Structure 1
Amino acid sequence: MPLAAMPPIVHDPIPFGSRRIAETRAYATRHYGLHRARLIAPKVIVEHMTENASFGATFNTFAPDVADSELHELPATCSHFVIDPAGKIHQLVSLKWICRHTVGLNYTAIGIEHVGFSEAGVLSNRKMIGASLKLTRWLQAKYGISDKNVIGHAESLSSPYHHENVARLRTQTHGDWPRRFMVKYRARLS
């Protein structure tokens, strides 16, 4: 896969210090049997929706290291990248760290959040979808990730890389970026 040009990325890191790294390592041990906090040779890119209206709201959701309201675990949820409606790509977490964004895939997935409430809104926003496709293509080229492994959060359970040790979470997923939208997204990647 030829290397795509790296798009402009604004570095807006959330706090990811020694405590959060230790919590990430403990999470990876519990959920995947891996004794590391490092994201090594990622195989999947997961597209997400923020369900809010701004980058600031998204940053404020991911920055505090508090147990999440859904699964009540630490470290807090996060994503590597956020794309705002103006098409600006923000990097919140270094690609060397695991982020908690998709149950069953965090150990091998890069997370990309899209600010907004609907996939159709992202697909129709020229700046946002353009930035998203550029970022995704660059990450695909950098890590050798095929189009079929660029998935929506709603497709996580069908990924061949899905693995979850915690029985109660083996079928846990979210509804953002279902297949009907990801078919359109992946067609634009080609």
Structure 2
Amino acid sequence: MINVTEARKGITIELDGTLYEVLDYEHIKMARGSAQVRLKLRDVRGGHTIDRTFQATAKFPRARVERQPVQFLYRDGDLFYFMNTQTYDQTPLNRSQVGDAANYLAENATCDLLAYGDEPIGIELPAAVVLTVAETEPWVKGDTAQGGTKPARLETGLVVKNVPLFINIGDRLKIDTRSGAYLERA
């Protein structure tokens, strides 16, 4: 059992027979009463989000989610195929299970497959990934009136708004998977 005050962003809990991932956590202190905790939760299987408020003394079971190292192989429509790097088993996940992580998945990218028992429920990306620039505007010397940055579309379709002017098509960039921000040239 986990106390609601120990809940943090990213953990998976079981509530009313359903698996939820904690998206946001807010501790609310009342002037004349017990503290409350407001959680924003995403249903791991269904994908919808809910907001729930709990008393600070509430407890619920923490879901035992296993992490397995996998490699992204390819995408076929709304299915994403991953290969376990230890057993070479292939696992398909649908678009709702992958979520926004699809913007950071290039072929042969490594990540962790999250499984609850034998059921795959999603993936967890590393903090940063390296992606190739597919499209960006050319830089003209002296074109710094707009602050020295420009947008760039990456190989996965993700658009990074603020990359330096010297970045060209074909360059490999390190991108933060939590914010989608440009970190450095790889």
TM-score clears 0.5: no
Higher helix share goes to which structure? 1
Q: Which has the larger radius of gyration?
A: 2
**What is the TM-score normalised by the length of structure 2?**
0.22
Higher strand share goes to which structure? 2
Higher relative contact order (CA 8 A, sep 6+): 1
**What is the TM-score normalised by the length of structure 1?**
0.21
